[in-house]
Structure 1
């Protein structure tokens, strides 16, 4: 991809050890949080926080990686890509997101990154978690 063709920022998300990186150009199509039990297990916390980019926004993926495909609770496949050294889940693709990649937003290490616009699987969220009044709730 020629990154001069897409307006906006060029961002790189990295795993914890720095061995795996994905660089994207432009703004995300959406930013979301998900409280499904699969995301809780994958992240080791109460929810995932991800940014969805169109496939054409991916400028590069560098470093050794592993993938794991699972079926989500909606019955669609999700393929998670993670670092084999530190285990960070860096990005994923899925049957429910054709032509897109979902990047773990925290891996951009940008405190000004957009907040989630939607919380998916809200019925499974931890009771203490309040996504805020601007976040759309989806069960």
Structure 2
């Protein structure tokens, strides 16, 4: 299988991340922190294995999850777009905002976490596995 590269970027293009290969997984998060972070009713994220290449400057925001894990979110200091995040202490993968790829053919999510906080009018794609909180 040929090595596939994909690039995600912020709205102004200043902050970019290039990932390789197919996503490890694509999911939705309905937690209240992600709702506030994105300004939407959920976050759509794709996880990729390292290595990945970042270009541009990022502002960082450290957030603790419900189970104590810490996540470092990177967003563009110019336009404010959240582009990617990593878990502190885990350099083996990166999670990238699906919308930052600007690719309508991007694979659909297969999991939904914090489904207990999903807005009732949001419909999940068929076959999506839903978790009440974070598994």
- Structures share fold, TM-score greater than 0.5: yes
Matched, 1:77 2:67: no
Q: Secondary structure at the match of 2:77?
A: coil
The aligned counterpart of 1:47 is 42
Cα deviations by residue, 1:34-57 (Å, 9 ceiling, x for unpaired)? 00011101100010001100122x
> Are the equivalent residues in 2 in contact too, given 1:28–1:52 (CA < 8 A)?
yes
Please list every run of 5 or more consecutive structure 2 residues that lacks an aligned counterpart in the other structure: none
RMSD: 1.6
Displacement of 1:128 in angstroms is 0.6
Q: Secondary structure at the match of 1:31?
A: strand
Distance 1:65-1:114 versus aligned 2 partners, 3 A rule: same
> Of the candidates 15, 18, 21, which is equivalent to residue 16 of structure 2?
21
Displacement of 1:98 in angstroms is 5.5
The aligned counterpart of 2:7 is 12
Q: How many residues get paired?
A: 132
TM-score by length of 1: 0.89
Matched, 1:106 2:99: yes
TM-score by length of 2: 0.91
Which whole-Å CA distance do the structure 1 matches of 2:47 and 2:93 have between them? 7
The aligned counterpart of 1:118 is 111
Query: Which is helix-richer, 1 or 2?
Result: 1
